[in-house]
Structure 1
Amino acid sequence: MRIIACTEGSFGKIEPFSLEMITAARTAGAAGDEVVAFFAGQELEPAVANLGAADRLVAASAGSSQLIAAESYARLLADTIAAEEPGLVLVPYAANGLDVAGDLAARTGWPLVSYVNEISRDGDRLAVVAQVYGGKILAECSVPLPAILMVNPGAFAEAERRAVDPSKLQHFDATAVVAEGKVRLVGVDVPNYDSVDLTTAERIVCVGRGIGDEASIDIARGLADILGAEIAGSRPVVDSGWLPKVRQVGKSGQKVKPKLYLALGVSGAPEHLEGMSKSDLIIAVNTDPKAPIFNVAHFGATCDLFDLVANLSERLQPGR
């Protein structure tokens, strides 16, 4: 069987979840199966330099566009599927993937399972574990092939970064396809992370919607000061204007790997877990024992976060 692992990259870099898709494909495959990485982006070089863990690379580049819109990506991928005739296509749960996976399922008529955490081969089918209801329930699915799976970033380890053998590369120009698309890139707005770089922080205290309001963040700031940590927030906190965008952790914020990640009132939506699940030590505080954040936390407490922070701050004062 041939398996297509979809990858993405922009601004001269490959998204880390691209390497995870290759590992997921290896996990789903059997002996003798071929893993083909598919890439569509402005520049070919990042893909060629990093995606050699796949058996082959099919790459489409369009130098005229910084980002390939989901509409164009899906069309390019559909053409590749028609040519390669795979038995399985893995799409990352990412901004493009959300649109691309559904588009492909409609085009092919194949079954689609989203928010996938685990994959194993079961004869001519796949045994898949996927999240539902924001990760509060895990569903075990038996999926007939061919199929499309949308895989959660962080569910699989990154494959080794290495260059693609030139003999294993198939490249084509996607400029015409992008130009024909109805969706056009107007601009890219990237926050200025010069003032706050959470990616280099060794300790982070992150607040979620459970903090209640903007004023209540001060108690978390006090604990962060004692710990020598940076304060951060989940997307709902940033969308509410309680913290600036540069302090957002998650898929649409910064991806962090601190030595300590203390999550206060963070439920743990897949988008947030993507940005922090690889932290060395994760401690979660949430009154909901079924909050998805506990699926990745090393330690957890289901108490009132204000009581815990107040007592912990007192205990950590100099001389205590």
Structure 2
Amino acid sequence: MKIIACAEARADRIEPVSFEMIEAARSLAGDGDEVIVFFAGKPAADAAVAFGAADRLVAAHSDEAELVPAESYARILREVIAAEDAALVLVPYSASGLDIAAEVAARKGWPLVAYVNAVTHDADGIRATAQMYGGKLLAECQVTLPAVLMVNPGAFAEAVPAALAANKVREIDASGHVRNGKVKLVAVELPDPADVDLATAERIVCVGRGVGDAGNIDPVRNLAALLNAEIAGSRPVVDSGWLPRARQVGKSGRKVKPKLYFALGVSGAPEHLEGMAQAGVIVAVNTDANAPIFNVAHYGVTCDLSELVETLTEKLQAASG
């Protein structure tokens, strides 16, 4: 069986989720199976020296665009699937992946399972565990091959970057697909990290909608200072203007891997989990015992957020003298 792991790039760098797709594919590959990375983007040379955890790389590149739009990516991917006679395709749950996975599955007539958290391979095909209702329910899905799986970032560890031998790399000129596609890249706008880089923070205290209102942010900020941590927020908090966008964690914000991550009043929607599920230790505080954040938390508390912040702040102040 041939398994295609889809990789992504943003501007001049490979997205970390690409390595997670390789690890997911490798976990399914048995003796005699082959893991093939499909990459479409400008830094094709970077892909060749990074994806050594796979058996082969098919790299599509275009010098005419910084990014290959999802429409063109999906079209080239379908051609690669046919040429390789692949039986399973893993696509990351991302802004592009939402378009790519659906189009490929529909045009190939293959089953698609989205929001996948775990997957195993047996004689009957693929058994996938997928999130439903924002992660509050988990569905066990039995899927026959060939199939497409859209995998949640953070569900798998990242494969170790390594170089591939030149004879294991096949390059495709994607310029024609990009030029003739209906979707045109207008510009690439990267987030401004401003005065903080959450990606390098060792401790993060993140607040979600459960914080209540902007007036409750300051006590959390004080707690973060005592922990020598950066304060961050989920998308609803940032959209409300309570914290700047540079401090947003999640799919549309920053992906972080701190040693310690406090999730205060964060429900744990898939978009947020994508940004923090690989943290070393996750402590979740939420009054909803069924909140999806508890599926990834190492420690969980169902209590009043304000009371916990106040008590913990007092304990840390007393300990510090």
Instruction: Name the Cα RMSD after superposition.
Output: 1.3
Are the equivalent residues in 1 in contact too, given 2:120–2:126 (CA < 8 A)?
Answer: yes
2:242 is aligned to 242
1:61 is aligned to 61
Mapping 1:308-319, distance limit 5 Å: 308-318=308-318
2:135 and 2:61 mapped to 1: Cα distance?
A: 35
- For structure 2, the residue ranges without an aligned partner over 5 or more in a row are none
1:208 is aligned to 208
Q: CA deviation at 1:63?
A: 1.4
Are the equivalent residues in 2 in contact too, given 1:43–1:63 (CA < 8 A)?
Answer: no
2:299 is aligned to 299
Are the equivalent residues in 2 in contact too, given 1:42–1:66 (CA < 8 A)?
Answer: yes
Q: CA deviation at 1:176?
A: 1.2
1:293 and 1:185 mapped to 2: Cα distance?
A: 35
Mapping 1:159-238, distance limit 5 Å: 159-238=159-238
Amino acid at match of 1:181: G
Amino acid at match of 1:141: C
TM-score norm. by structure 1 comes to 0.97
2:90 is aligned to 90
1:14 and 1:257 mapped to 2: Cα distance?
A: 17
Provide the secondary structure at the position in 2 that maps to 1:24. helix
Bigger drift between 283-292 and 224-233 goes to 224-233
Residue 189 (structure 2) pairs with residue 151 (structure 1): no
Amino acid at match of 1:204: I
TM-superposition CA deviations, 1:14-54 (whole Å, max 9, x none): 21111111111122222111111100001211211101111
Are the equivalent residues in 1 in contact too, given 2:155–2:277 (CA < 8 A)?
Answer: no
Q: CA deviation at 1:210?
A: 0.8
2:6 is aligned to 6
Amino acid at match of 1:187: A
Provide the secondary structure at the position in 2 that maps to 1:150. strand
Residue 15 (structure 2) pairs with residue 15 (structure 1): yes
Provide the secondary structure at the position in 1 that maps to 2:317. coil
1:275 is aligned to 275
Provide the secondary structure at the position in 1 that maps to 2:49. helix
**% identical equivalent positions:** 62
2:304 and 2:264 mapped to 1: Cα distance?
A: 10
2:70 is aligned to 70
Count of matched residue pairs? 320
1:191 and 1:23 mapped to 2: Cα distance?
A: 28
- For structure 1, the residue ranges without an aligned partner over 5 or more in a row are none
2:35 and 2:225 mapped to 1: Cα distance?
A: 48
1:219 and 1:145 mapped to 2: Cα distance?
A: 52
2:44 and 2:187 mapped to 1: Cα distance?
A: 21
2:6 and 2:224 mapped to 1: Cα distance?
A: 39
Amino acid at match of 1:189: E
2:116 is aligned to 116
Q: CA deviation at 1:247?
A: 0.3
Amino acid at match of 2:183: V
Displaced runs of 4+ in structure 1, greater than 3 A? none
